[in-house]
Homo-oligomer: A and B are copies of this chain.
């Protein structure tokens, strides 16, 4: 898939500004268009998507995952109190008599519900599907309200950090495979986040709310996040400042060692557990050969309530940076973490099934790849047609229909114009504009001689082949090309 090279810095900037355009730009005004924040996917979009999803899914399958699907909507009660502050963004269905339903907000909660409902204790699955969030177009511009998620999760009680390390390996394989340029995966642990809050003096009742604020650090400056924590969420300024010292820290496994020695953090049991697991994780990541892609980052918090252990988020980097220049952050393209308590919330006896997983932000990837193709002027074929059935004369519809049926019945992708008497030039133009490589031509002369002419669109060479051999000849040519 020769999709991607490196984008120059200016192209990144233009890309970012386009990512931030208001949604529904495709609305022409000709007709009342589709719902705000959603969009149609044209054949051009679909070709790019198919290639990217193929790569993602084949990676998931390489790691032994099974496919699965859940309904687009769930009982509202299944989804409530799982997402923290973001819950208000859920789409509810109208009460038309019956149950209260909501469109799914992610693929993780339905997976946990599935595990509990079917008493599944162990499962490695992937799920590609749409999710829906009522993002306000003015607040979070450029995000669509309907988007695709690609999730991979490992459920089950295993020895520590082995599945977690595999999740990070998968993220690396996918991001490398897509050739999106250099990337970095930030790693932290919810227990370190909570431990940090505790030793900084955050009241436990505010842990999740402050966590949501910290999560905004990749989009907002520290002073704005601090303002939100102090003014909106009532945190004491000196507590905020103590947090501020920690969230500046990022580094490799040596930072893990350093935090073990941190006079405050080392007093917190939870934080120590998290640090211990991170140390083990780094050991496995080194064996996988990906430790250089991973950064322990104390500013990573992840917004969702359900995480309980390791959390991570992959960022694309502006690759060719000058010395001393900060890498340009183009945002998260994959993220995930450990959620050991979620399945238990659906089990009547509270039986837990520990889980760890990841979600690939394919919408952003789709967009980046599309932009890069545009920049490079790469054309995509939106059909796969191999052969076109043409005639230079009038009254050859019947012969064309017979020929094309033979091609279809032999598994060959074929098209013709739906006209009784099309002009030859129109037919050949169609092949050139849609990228069809071969034409078979039937006319008076061919009919008389019992042959079919095969024309290569690129070279314009034509050869006459006996009627009974033309399918075989085409199959030969297609297998060679």
Q: Which residues of A contact B (CB under 8 A)?
A: 26-28, 30-36, 38-43, 45-47, 50, 61-75, 77-78, 91-96, 98-99, 101, 103, 110, 113-114, 116-119, 125, 130, 132, 134, 146, 154, 156, 158-159, 162-163, 165-166, 169, 173, 284, 287-289, 346-348, 382-385, 397-398, 401-402, 405, 408-409, 411-415, 418-420
Contacts and interface: CB of A to CB of B under 8 A. Distances in A.
B408 A169 contact: yes
Contact of A32 (B45, B63, B75, B92): B75
Contacts of A65: 383
A125 B396 CA distance: 26
A66 B383 CA distance: 5
A62 B411 contact: yes
With a 10 A CB-CB cut-off, give which of A30, A31, A39, A287 has the most chain B CB atoms.
A31
Q: How many copies of this protein are present in the complex?
A: 2
B28 A418 contact: no
A71 B40 CA distance: 6
A68 B146 CA distance: 15
A64 B43 CA distance: 12
Contacts of A402: 287
Contacts of A78: 32, 34
Contacts of A71: 34-35, 38-40, 146
B119 A162 contact: no
Nearest to A412: B62
A346 B93 CA distance: 25
B117 A348 contact: no
A437 to B, nearest CB: 13
A401 B95 contact: no
B74 A34 contact: yes
A383 B61 contact: yes
A439 to B, nearest CB: 14
B74 A72 contact: no
B67 A43 contact: yes
Contacts of A412: 62
A408 B46 contact: no
A93 B96 contact: no
A418 B68 contact: no
A2 B156 CA distance: 34
Given A71-B38, A132-B72, A384 B32 contact: no
A75 B385 CA distance: 35
B62 A401 contact: no
A125 to B, nearest CB: 7
Contact of A61 (B42, B64, B132, B384): B384
Contacts of A50: 67
A190 to B, nearest CB: 20
Contacts of A158: 418-419
Contacts of A77: 32
Contact of A288 (B116, B163, B401): B401
Contacts of A348: 30-31
A417 to B, nearest CB: 8
B414 A62 contact: yes
Contact of A408 (B27, B40, B173, B385): B173
Contacts of A31: 113, 116-117, 346-348
A49 to B, nearest CB: 8
A329 to B, nearest CB: 28
Contacts of A32: 75, 77-78
Given A40-B70, A72-B130, A94-B94, A414 B34 contact: no
Nearest to A116: B31
Given A65-B383, A173-B409, 18 more contacts: A28-B117, A28-B118, A30-B116, A34-B117, A35-B75, A40-B70, A40-B71, A40-B114, A41-B70, A43-B66, A63-B413, A63-B414, A64-B413, A72-B103, A72-B130, A162-B419, A165-B401, A289-B405
A376 B95 CA distance: 43
A66 B413 contact: no
A260 B404 CA distance: 31
Given A40-B114, A418-B156, A382 B99 contact: no
Nearest to A74: B34
B70 A42 contact: no
Given A154-B418, A405-B288, A36 B99 contact: yes
28 contacts: A28-B117, A30-B119, A32-B78, A33-B117, A34-B74, A34-B113, A35-B73, A35-B75, A40-B110, A40-B118, A41-B69, A43-B66, A43-B68, A46-B66, A46-B67, A46-B68, A61-B383, A62-B412, A63-B415, A72-B72, A73-B146, A92-B94, A94-B95, A159-B419, A162-B401, A163-B418, A287-B401, A288-B405
